[in-house]
Structures are given as C-alpha cells and as structure tokens.
Chain A
C-alpha cells in the first residue's frame, strides 16, 4: 500500500465530506446572484426580505423604505425555496428535517434578525455579493460574524448542548 501524500491526508481531515458538494453548490449560489446582477444591476441579498415583508403588516417607517422592492424580494425568496426543493427532489430521499433544538433555532433567529439589520447584510449580501465586490465594509462584516459565530458555536458545544 502506498499512503496518500501528507497534504492529501491533511485535506481529508479538514474536508470529511470532500469539497465538490461545497464548491459546486457555491458556484450555483454565485451564479444565481450573478444572473440577477447582470440582468438588473441589483446585488441581491437574502436578509432585506425580512424588513421588506414586514412592511405588509407594520406601519413602521423602517420597513416602508423597502416597500418598493418587497414584491421582487418575495419572488426571489420564493425562488430560493423552490430551487432548494428542486435539489431535494433530485438528490434527497424525501423531506429532511434538522435535529437542532427549536429554542436554538428561535433564539438564534432573533439574533440573526437583529444583527443582519444592524450590520447591513448577511451571509449572502456581505458574504457573496459584498466580498465579490471587494467591499472593505463587507469583508469587515464577514470577519465580524465569522469570529463571533465560531466562538459561539464552540462555547455551545463545550457546554454540551447537542444537537
């Protein structure tokens, strides 16, 4: 038996599921944003949907500044749901549900909802479109959320909360 070269062994430990699913998926994510950008000039993100949709049910001025874009944001979000459903139909054995506890999802969602609005973007707005624009603001935003997310996840795991 010839052992794999050391760099390959190290890579296998860092990427237990390989990299193709991530790389191919990432290319599709970028392609979706690129299609919208080339056609419309809009750099799409997923989080403003939260505020623009709230303008349907709330009179707060904060939400109504996005009222003009709320219809296409609904379409974009519907597309995301349907696109993932297409993936599921082709590659997934029936519906998949998470084991992460409901309170982690709810509480994490509240922090995500506040943070993305204060911080002007999320993983798609800052992470994909902003970094793609080489925006220093977005790179700073990504570093900020990566660092606190890593610390939080490590602390939660160290406290023995699973899943």
Chain B
C-alpha cells in the first residue's frame, strides 16, 4: 500500500466514489434497515441473499478480470491479489460471536454506517457498541500478545 505522502492524487477520490456506490447499494437494498435483516434471519424474507451473493458475484468478476487486464493496480502500483485470509479457529469463533450480534441487532458494520446516511440516528447505539466491542477486543489482544506476535490480519 502506498504511503500517505506519495499517493496517487486520484486514490482518495476513487475510494470516496467506491464508498458512495457501496453505501447507495446498502440503502437501495434496504439492508441499512435492521428490521429487514431480522426478517431475513427469521425466514420471513429471503431477499437479503441476493444482496450478499449479488455483491459477491460482481466482486468475483473484478477479482477475476482485473489481474488479467492489468499488471498492477493503477492508483497504488500494488499487485492484484485475492482476498485470502489464513483459516484458524478464530474465524469460526469470531464469526459465531459476530452472528450473535448480527442476530440480536440486525446490524453489521457497513450497513450501520449506511443506516446513519438514511437518517437513522438511533443506529448510533449500534455504532457505539461496535467501537466498544472492537476496543475491548483490541485491548484484550494487545495485553495477550504484546511483544509476541502483532502480525497484521490484513485489510477488510
């Protein structure tokens, strides 16, 4: 990843545009409404499957095509890599904890930011909770691993 100082001038604008399109999609799909997510999880409306798999289909095309058309990413000079993370028990444990929160609240990080955009100020409770949870986890892990293995888990 390019350091802040020598970034391509279009890097930040492109990330903003990507975020805009991403957030518009979350609004359009109604996934920014916790009720819609909860209806899905209670088997009352399976439409949400189309959001995740529709999104994954599009990124799948980009992940397949971009490395074949371009040698390196134009704005960073980075190589195109698939999003691969090492598998271990944490993926299942963390996924399970995430699921409890998702099932309780109907809210996940991206949809929570988008929810703020559709005027849902009540969602600030969820955002506060997420920051608190991430802080607790980071505090705990910093204590557990400081000086041992601060290996980055990458960007997601």
Chain A residues whose CB sits within 8 angstroms of the CB of B20 once the complex forms:
32, 79-80, 82-83, 86
Q: A108-B106, A137-B85 are in contact. Are A40 and B11 (CB under 8 A)?
A: yes
Instruction: Find chain A residues with CB under 8 A from B72 CB.
Output: 41
**Do A157 and B22 touch (CB < 8 A)?**
no
Given known pairs A54-B131, A129-B156, the reply for A151 and B38 (CB within 8 Å) is no
List A contacts of B112 (CB < 8 A). 109
Determine whether A3 belongs to the interface, using a CB cutoff of 8 Å to chain B: no
Contact (A84, B103) CB under 8 Å given A36-B14, A48-B155, A132-B56: no
> Known interface pairs A119-B98, A123-B110. Does A71 touch B4 (Cβ–Cβ under 8 Å)?
yes
Cβ 8 A contact of B132, one of A109, A138, A156: A109
B119 to chain A minimum Cβ distance, whole angstroms, is 2
State which size class the interface on A falls in: 35 or more
CB of A115 within 8 A of CB of B98, answer yes
Chain B, interface SS category: helix
> What residues of chain B lie closer than 8 Å to A38, measured between beta carbons?
62, 66, 70, 73
Chain A residues with CB under 8 A of B31: 25
Interface string of B46-57 (1 = CB under 8 A from A): 111111111111
Q: Is the CB of B55 within 8 A of A29?
A: yes
Contact check, B136 vs A60: say whether CB atoms are below 8 A apart: no
**Which parts of A38-65 form the interface with B (CB within 8 Å)?**
38-51, 53-54, 58, 60-63, 65
Residue of B nearest to A60 (CB): B142
- Flag if A25 contacts B30 (CB, 8 Å): yes
A-B contact count (CB 8 A): 591
Task: Give chain A nearest CB distance to B102 CB in angstroms.
Answer: 4
The answer on a CB contact under 8 Å between A96 and B33 is yes
- Give me 18 other A-B pairs in contact (C-beta within 8 A), A82-B20, A85-B23 excluded: A14-B45, A16-B44, A25-B27, A32-B25, A38-B62, A42-B76, A42-B78, A45-B155, A61-B146, A75-B19, A79-B19, A84-B114, A110-B133, A113-B137, A116-B134, A145-B99, A153-B41, A163-B38
- Residues of chain A touching chain B, judged by Cβ–Cβ distance below 8 Å, are 14-19, 21-51, 53-54, 58, 60-63, 65-66, 68-69, 71-72, 75-88, 91-92, 94-100, 102-138, 140-154, 156-157, 163
Query: CB-CB < 8 A to A107: which residues of B?
Result: 101, 104-105, 129
Assess whether B118 is in contact with A106, with CB atoms less than 8 Å apart.
no
Say whether B118 contacts A65, CB under 8 Å: no
Q: Is the CB of B50 within 8 A of A26?
A: yes
Are B114 and A41 touching (Cβ within 8 A)? no
